[in-house]
Amino acid sequence: MSDRLTIALDAMGGDDAPGIVIDGANLALTRFPQVDFLLFGPEPALQALLERTPKLKARCRIFHTDVAIAADAKPSLAMRNGRQSSMRLAINAVQEGHAAGVVSAGNTGALMAMAKLVLRTLPGIDRPAICSFFPTLRGESVMLDLGANIDCDADNLFQFAVMGEVFARTVLGLARPTVGLLNVGAEDQKGHESLRIVSQRLRDATLPIAFHGFIEGNDIATGTVDVIVTDGFTGNVALKTAEGTVKLFSQSLRSAFKSSPLASIGYLLARPAMQKLRRRLDPRRYNGAVFLGLNGIAVKSHGGADALGFANAIGVAVDMALHGFLDTVREEFQHLYPDLGLLPPTAAVAP
C-alpha cells in the first residue's frame, strides 16, 4: 500500500499509560486504517493489552524498554539519563526513518528537548514552537507558540508565522489561512518592539501570506484569523486563561441548572443540545500540541488525555505526514531564504 504510514508511540508517557495509549491507537486505527504503529514500552504489559484488540495487534510492533521519563523530570536530566527511555526510542525511530512521526503524552519539556536534539530544526528555523488548535466562533484556529520559548525576538515570531500558516494549510485544509500577531491593540504603534518589526516584515514578505495584522485576546475565540502568532509566554497564558474561563462558565452553568426544579427539568429537555455544545468545546477534540520547526513530526498529547484525546493527537501526526507538512515548510523557507539551501528530505517523511 503506497499510502501506508508508520507512527511511533511512547507507550509510557501520560497519566494512564500504557492503557490509554493502546486504546487511543485502537481508536485512531478505525479513522486511519493505513497506519501501523511502533510501540515503545514494557513488552509484557503491552502484549497483554494488545490481546484485547486483535486488529490493532496485527498493526503494531513492540520495542521493549522499562525506562520511563518521569512527568516532573527536568529536561536536562531526562536527556542525560533517558537514552533508553520509551520517549527517546520513539523519537529515534522518526530520526532513523522507521516512523513518519512520534506521539507522546509524556513530559513536555523532556519531549521538546529530546526531539530538538535528535530531529534537529528545519533549515531556516532557529527555534521550534508548540502549536495547537483552538475552537472559535467560526470553527477552528491554530496558535503558536504555546510555551516552548518564553522570550522571542522578531526572527522567531516571523518563523512561527510562516510555519503556522503552512500548518493551517496542510492540517486544517485551508487554501489561504489568515495570520494575526497577538498584541494589545490593532494600531501600528502598539506593543513590544519585536511585534512592530515582525508585522512590518510580514507585510513586506514575498511569501504570499494573508497577514491580517495585529489582533487582541478577544480575537482568539472570535476566530478573526486562522493562525495566531505570539511568544511562548503570552501564548501559554492565553491558552490556560481560555481553559480556565471555559471551566468557570461550565461550572456556573451546571449550578444554574441545579438551582431550581424547573431549571433541572429544563436541563433534561435541553440535554442533547448541551451535549452537542460540550462536544464542540471538548478539549479532547483539540488535543495534540505539535512541535513545529523540527526536522520530523512530533506531537504531544495532554498528559491526562483519555483514549479519544490520544487518538486525536495521533490524528494530528497522521494528517501532517499525509499532507506533506515538512516538505511544504522546507519549500516556503527555500523561497524566503534561497541561500539556505534545501536539506534533502529526511527519511522520516519518505520512509
Task: Kindly indicate which of the ranges 54-62, 85-93, 166-174, 249-257 contains the residues binding its own copies, using the contact rule CB under 8 A.
Answer: 249-257
Which of 58, 184, 340, 343 is in the footprint of its own copies by CB under 8 A?
184
Q: CA-to-CA distance for 265 and 274, rounded, in angstroms?
A: 13
Distance between CA 228 and CA 161 in Å, rounded? Answer: 8
CA geometry: angle at 252 spanning 251 and 254, to 5°?
65
CB of 23 vs its own copies, minimal distance in Å: 26
Is the Cβ of residue 80 or residue 206 nearer to its own copies in the bound state?
A: 80
Angle of CA points 237, 122, 103, to nearest 5°: 60
Cβ closer to its own copies: 37 or 160? 160
Residue from 48, 58, 117, 270 in contact with its own copies (CB under 8 A): 270
Nearest 5°: the CA angle 314, 70, 320 is 20
- Single out the segment in contact with its own copies by CB under 8 A; choices: 98-106, 164-172, 246-254, 340-348: 246-254
Q: For residues 194-233, which are near its own copies according to CB under 8 A?
A: 216-222, 230, 232-233
Q: Is 242 in the site for its own copies (CB under 8 A)?
A: yes
- Per the listing, cell 503491552 goes with 46
Asked if residues 88 and 114 have their Cβ atoms less than 8 Å apart, the reply is yes
How many chain residues are in contact with its own copies, going by CB under 8 A? 59
The residue (of 114 and 228) whose beta carbon lies closer to its own copies is 228
Assess 77 for contact with its own copies (CB under 8 A): no
In the chain, DSSP assigns E strands to 5-10, 35-41, 60-64, 101-104, 129-135, 140-144, 178-182, 210-215, 227-229, 289-292, 297-300
Alpha helices in 82-229 (DSSP H): 86-95, 108-119, 154-171, 193-204, 217-222
CB 173, min distance to its own copies, A: 22
Using CB under 8 A, pick the residue from 196, 197, 267, 304 that binds its own copies.
Answer: 267
337 binds its own copies (CB under 8 A): no
Residue count of the chain: 351
Q: Based on the shown chain and the rule CB under 8 A, indicate whether residue 243 belongs to the binding site for its own copies.
A: yes
Find the binder of its own copies among 47, 53, 121, 136 (CB under 8 A): 136
Cα distance between residue 212 and residue 178, in whole Å: 6
Q: Which amino acid is at 30?
A: T
C-alpha span between 59 and 271 (Å, rounded) = 39
Using CB under 8 A as the binding rule, whether residue 249 contacts its own copies is answered as yes
Site for its own copies in 16-45 (CB under 8 A): none
- Stretch of residues binding its own copies (CB under 8 A), selected from 1-9, 98-106, 275-283, 308-316: 275-283
Nearer to its own copies, 283 or 324 (CB): 283
From 18-26, 50-58, 132-140, 202-210, give the range in contact with its own copies by CB under 8 A.
Answer: 132-140
Q: Contact, 231 vs 200, CB < 8 A?
A: no
C-alpha cell, 141: 484556529
Comparison of 230 and 295: residue with beta carbon closer to its own copies: 230
> Is there binding between residue 241 and its own copies (CB under 8 A)?
yes
Q: How many CB atoms lie within 10 A of CB 259?
A: 10
Q: How many CB atoms lie within 10 A of CB 86?
A: 30
Name which position in 4, 117, 252, 343 contacts its own copies (CB under 8 A): 252
Which residues here bind its own copies, judged by CB under 8 A? 135-137, 147, 150-151, 182, 184, 191-192, 216-222, 230, 232-234, 236-253, 256-257, 259-260, 262-263, 265-274, 276-277, 280-281
